Amino acid sequence: MALRVLAAMSGGVDSAVAAARIAEAGHEVTGVHLALSANPQSYRTGARGCCTIEDSRDARRAADVIGIPFYIWDMAERFHRDVVEDFVSEYAAGRTPNPCLRCNEKIKFEAVLDRALALGFDAVATGHHARLVDGVLHRSPDEGKDQSYVLGVLTREQLSHAIFPLGDSTKAEVRAEAARRGLTVADKPDSHDICFIADGDTRGFLADRLGSAEGPIVDESGQVVGTHEGAYGFTVGQRKGLRIDRPAPDGRPRYVLSIEPVTNTVTVGPRSSLEVTSITAVRPVWNGPLEAPREPLACTVQLRAHGEVYGCRAQVSGDGSEVRIVLDAPATGVAAGQAAVLYLGDAVIGSATIASAA
């Protein structure tokens, strides 16, 4: 049965090939590019982001080649509120957000999907590298490009209206197909940076919005070893840019262990002190083949985009509002605010937001 499909087209090669595949499969496809900034010149250019004027032109050219209608939807206000302001407030609270994950959750699969369904579309297609098997999210076969982690926050209802046409393809195969189809984005570089930070200076971006607030950098004993101009400029596991006045007694590097926004204190210490085996995560979403595990469930967990995967046991609290994750081996650099995405094999079970680790 032919579906009415809205193809989200970022201006990159993945979304272009995804739209082409859906159209070729006989579905009624409309392309849409999301304008995420009221001032696109302030966002990344040179194919480094996904929401510049250059990207919108690339998306339109791809739609013309495919032969589908194309529109631009203004999502700037919603993006600023749900992604940019969230990014700033999370850092101010001492947490480390993932803006790409938040964009998927709040923009592409909430705002856009809601509008698409209201307009009579059956589904939204994107160029994410992930698979849907009987409604369950799975990893891509291209391990280096797998994006199931940043989609792990989606609900079952949202996934039921999602299509990921690139699910079984590697990035190399997608680029080769784009070239065969005559899509000019075939060799366009991937985006890697936060699109709304034009110069890539996250600390400077936050300082412009949160101001300067000098505070102490202390070691695990509480001894002051340096100062900073804002605790928001750090993340757990960070090693570079600490500006510590005195070296560690053993001469080894020191890392950020914790960030306390109330006292504006950053604590540093050896890498060994970063190791954690227990994680508490909140706001769980169970979108896989299982319900929330009331007993410890042996599975795996990924704690960062493209991060290492750890064996673990996961169990929800009595009221279901928290997930306790006990790792089989210690992890380092586990930051509050990041997502913990749980897997059974290649299948996503669910996700939750890291609140604390020990």
**Contact (Cβ atoms closer than 8 angstroms) between residue 355 and residue 281:** yes
Residue 9 annotated as part of some ligand binding site:
yes
- Tell me, what's the pLDDT at 248? 81
Residue 211 annotated as part of some ligand binding site:
no
**Contact (Cβ atoms closer than 8 angstroms) between residue 47 and residue 13:** no
Is 51 known to be catalytic? Answer: no
Residues in CB range of 240: below 8 A, 6 or more apart: none
Q: What would the pLDDT profile of 181-221 be if each residue is shown by its tens digit?
A: 999 999 998 876 688 887 788 989 999 999 999 999 999 99
Residue 15 annotated as part of some ligand binding site:
yes
Residue 350 annotated as part of some ligand binding site:
no
Cα 147-148-150 angle, rounded to 5 deg: 70
- Parallel, antiparallel, or unpaired: how do β-strands 224-228 and 276-286 relate? unpaired
Q: Which of 50, 51, 195, 299 is catalytic?
A: 195
**Contact (Cβ atoms closer than 8 angstroms) between residue 10 and residue 188:** no
Cα 320-322-325 angle, rounded to 5 deg: 120
Q: What is the DSSP letter of 118?
A: H
Nearest C-alpha neighbor of 106 from the set 165, 48, 49, 34: 34
Q: Which of 51, 103, 299, 312 is catalytic?
A: 103
Residue 11 annotated as part of some ligand binding site:
yes
Residue 1 annotated as part of some ligand binding site:
no
Q: What would the pLDDT profile of 139-191 be if each residue is shown by its tens digit?
A: 999 999 999 999 999 999 999 999 999 999 999 999 999 999 999 999 998 87
Buried b (16+ CB within 10 A) or exposed e, 185-222: bbebeebeebbbbbeeebbebbbeebeeeebbbbbeee
Is 195 known to be catalytic? Answer: yes
Residuewise pLDDT in 10s, the chain (358 residues): 899 999 999 999 999 999 999 999 999 999 999 998 876 554 544 434 466 788 899 999 999 999 999 999 999 999 999 999 999 999 999 999 999 899 989 999 999 999 999 999 999 999 999 999 999 999 999 999 999 999 999 999 999 999 999 999 999 999 999 999 999 999 998 876 688 887 788 989 999 999 999 999 999 999 999 999 999 999 999 998 888 877 788 878 999 999 999 999 999 999 999 999 999 999 999 999 999 999 999 999 999 988 899 999 999 998 999 999 999 999 999 999 999 999 999 999 999 999 999 9
